[in-house]
Structure 1
């Protein structure tokens, strides 16, 4: 606990404690000469009486000379004063009239009556203790040493905390440099207060590295995919420049248009995949009736000759989710199933536990072998199925899985009861 005290706080506390200690020592020095008023008056009654007895028998003009001789025997001032020249409280005047010593208002001067007009003044009695006087007493040295222990302890703790903080900052600076080069590097041993920061920095470094890998992966894949259509286009343009046959030129133009469309499709798919690199922050959750929504998705599929069937249990199955994100997922799952199905695609939906829904997309195609079931979700991975040449760009299922993750769901592939592939989508019924 003490190690977490800020260095400047420890220094301030130490200085404050030292000032308080010195103040208390000074107060002790001043208080050490204090005597209660009543005891002091009793103490001064004897010297006052003796001095008065010495002076009363002398004429007035000889009293001052005698006082000069007596003054040498006292350690404090002694004078003769006229009662009319001083100001005394009423109770002091009463005591003097009764031949008793009295004090002034400040209680630092004592008066003893000599006659009706003259008083013997003792004092001022108290003075502020001097440093040289204090240093003569060992008790003050001992008190000062004992009082200084907390000061030294706080200063030591402050310097230790400052040294540890500087070491932690140096280690943190070195760790940040290491994480920038190697995000998975082992974190250094530091104070517990720095652990959350280091873990967050490491997570950010890993995220940035993963993002860079994804962009590098996309860039390499896109550049690879661009080579084939660009080469065909370059070859077609060369032939067009050499050929005068209208039929040949028309065929080459059609081929060029096909390659342009392929390039446009590749660019659209790559941009869609790049946009999915980060989690969307504006998901619009709304109630979606599964059966009605899937029928709408079926209606958007054109140009295929597969039998589509739908089963939902119960028929009023519903979830709350983002319609655009779910459309992206299901559209790619259906497109993949239609591409590889021989004749039939079956979609089924049901509850999966109490808080989730499962959606199966089954086809009767060649299926996916076990060792390739994770590869098909990687971007730009196209696997030959049933001896057919792979089509598309290998981004559909990668987009579907990434969108599923943003929707807090799971997407996997297994063997279908129809003999082909079964793509299983598990989604929460309510936003998490």
Structure 2
């Protein structure tokens, strides 16, 4: 149960479920807001034309009393309340004022009472608004719209078509004169329109187009035979059904969740394999490896895990090897110190005691050097050292090592092939100095008479090289010389010098420099040739040019 509790994938799935719920709630709110705004726009569009026609007819009445009488007559026919409302009774918004000034209507709908109040201006009536209260919409009221349009057209004899075009600006649906023969009517409907000039028909059309169900109102036109006034088609408002919308949203989110699940499932399995491998490593099985598949991030994670396991395994093996080698290396100087102490207690000769004390001091100094070498090797082998790459004048560094080793070269000759003074490379100064110093020390130890030091840049890689004229190193032993405590002469006396750690330290320095170290045969001197190469440009933050490089 705890594994599920802390599973990142379980949190992802739970987050997706919460997202679905949130989207469903937002979808409901959005649908309600959209539906409300769509319904309000629909009401205003349907009311604009009717309100404009009524206000025009009212404005043409000669007296205020005749206006009142006309409104009363229409109210009885339409079964609607039509009257005047003082302007100061209405608190209008900016949008409502703009609509009224444009000759449009405003609609205030009370959803709880299912009543709509329509207001519009009447020319010549600056103090009142024409008001219509609509609580229902019947067939009579719909047909009455065509009758009102015809009454308005009666004031424009001979210019009915032009007037109709003016009225079209206020109607959200088409209004036009059409030939009766062009109408898709049955014989009974055509006969009724021809015989009764006051006849008005209402047609329903159910279409699969975006308009859906529509209504058309057809009224006989007495002035022109075989021609009728057609209003529509008027689309019936369709509420955006929330159940359908929500169903689509939920189904889409379900598909999204399933898609995310099947996309994450392989990732979860790969992480599970890495977790199982980690558990095996924790139990001590360092031979555990993860199968790397593909080139994605999980493949990189598996590759990193394998590299980490190999590194841990190598560190443990190196630690065991180091422990065995250190115990062997420490025995000789410790035994000599013990022997010297016994000699001190067994002799009263002052000169002999001084000689033994000097030998003991040399053995202690050798122990200190051995410990320093071991600490340096362990630091480079077991973790990332603190490297501070800087620009180094390679010629100055090589010359400095040559000058330092001049006191121990004895009768041997050191030649050099140094780069130009302005050639700079990026390196950790003290570690690069250690590499060259080790190369030169080994060359002096095993050469016959000649050592050559060189360095430079080739193909964006810097290099330092030290050659000698000694016996060289057999090809089969060239990898072995870079192992810790490896000495090919198998001598572990003070006369041989060194502890077998120098070249191993050089190998690790080359690794942390991002380069490599190699040994082969010198084509010029015939002995061994040690070369270390590394990138001229390092990715680590650089420091200013080393001031001590002389």
- TM-score per shorter chain, which class? 0.5 to 0.7
Alignment of 1:230-245 (within 5 A): 230-244=334-348
TM-score by length of 1: 0.64
Alignment partner of 1:320 is 2:326 = no
What 5-or-longer segments of structure 2 have no aligned partner?
Answer: 1-8, 51-66, 83-107, 117-132, 139-240, 540-550
**Alignment partner of 2:475 out of 332, 353, 370:** 370
Q: 1:248 to 1:315 in 2, by over 3 A?
A: same
Distance across 1 between alignment mates of 2:390 and 2:302: 35
Cα distance in 2, alignment partners of residues 170 and 315 from structure 1: 57
Q: How far is the alpha carbon of 1:124 from its aligned partner?
A: 8.0
Deviation at 1:161, TM superposition (A): 6.8
Which aligned pairs between 1:250-261 and structure 2 lie closer than 5 A? Answer: 250-261=354-365
1:331 matched to 2:437? The reply is: yes
Matched, 1:380 2:485: yes
2:509 alignment partner, one of 403, 412, 422: 403
Corresponding position: 1:15 with 2:21: yes
Deviation at 1:241, TM superposition (A): 3.3
Q: Which runs of 5 or more residues in structure 1 are unaligned? A: 42-90, 111-120, 127-138
**8 Å CA contact retained: 1:362, 1:422:** yes
Please give the residue correspondences for 1:112-131 in structure 2 after superposition, counting only pairs within 5 Å. none
For residues 359-413 of structure 1, give each alpha carbon's deviation from its aligned partner in whole angstroms, at most 9, with x where no partner exists.
4322222211111111111121111199x97431011222223223333333211
CA-to-aligned-CA distance 1:75-105 (integer Å, 9 cap, x gap): xxxxxxxxxxxxxxxx999643433331596
Q: Could you tell me whether the CA contact under 8 Å between 1:309 and 1:345 is conserved in 2?
A: yes
Change (3 A) 1:149 1:314: closer
1:340 to partner: Cα distance: 1.0
Taking structure 2 as the reference length, the TM-score comes to 0.52
Tell me whether 1:229 sits opposite 2:333 in the alignment.
Answer: yes
Per the alignment, residue 305 of structure 1 pairs with 410
Q: CA deviation at 1:308?
A: 2.8
Q: Could you tell me how far apart the structure 1 residues matched to 2:328 and 2:312 are?
A: 24
Provide the rounded CA distance (Å) in 2 between the counterparts of 1:173 and 1:409.
33
> Aligned with 2:425: secondary structure?
strand
Question: CA, structure 1 residues 92+367, in 2 after alignment: closer, same or farther (shift >3 Å)?
Answer: farther
- Match of 2:77, SS state, is coil
Q: Which moved more, 1:298-307 or 1:369-378?
A: 298-307
CA distance in 2, matches of 1:316, 1:22: 77
Provide the rounded CA distance (Å) in 1 between the counterparts of 2:323 and 2:279: 27
Q: 1:425 aligns with which of 488, 508, 532?
A: 532
Cα distance, 1:237–1:169 mapped onto 2, change above 3 Å: same
Q: Could you tell me whether the CA contact under 8 Å between 1:306 and 1:345 is conserved in 2?
A: no
Q: 1:13 Cα shift?
A: 4.3
What is the alpha-carbon distance in structure 2 between the residues aligned to residue 244 and residue 341 of structure 1? Answer: 43
How far is the alpha carbon of 1:288 from its aligned partner? 0.7
Flag the structure with more relative contact order, 1 or 2, with Cα contacts below 8 A and sequence separation at least 6. Answer: 1
The aligned residue for residue 391 of structure 1 is 497
CA distance in 1, matches of 2:34, 2:463: 83
Q: Is the CA contact (8 Å cut-off) linking 2:472 and 2:526 kept in structure 1?
A: yes
Q: Report the counterpart of residue 252 of structure 2 in structure 1.
A: 150
Residues of 2 paired with 1:193 and 1:360: CA distance? 40
Q: Helix, strand or coil: the match of 1:348?
A: strand
Query: What is the alpha-carbon distance in structure 2 between the residues aligned to residue 340 and residue 228 of structure 1?
Result: 23
User: Over aligned residue pairs, what C-alpha RMSD do you find?
Assistant: 4.6
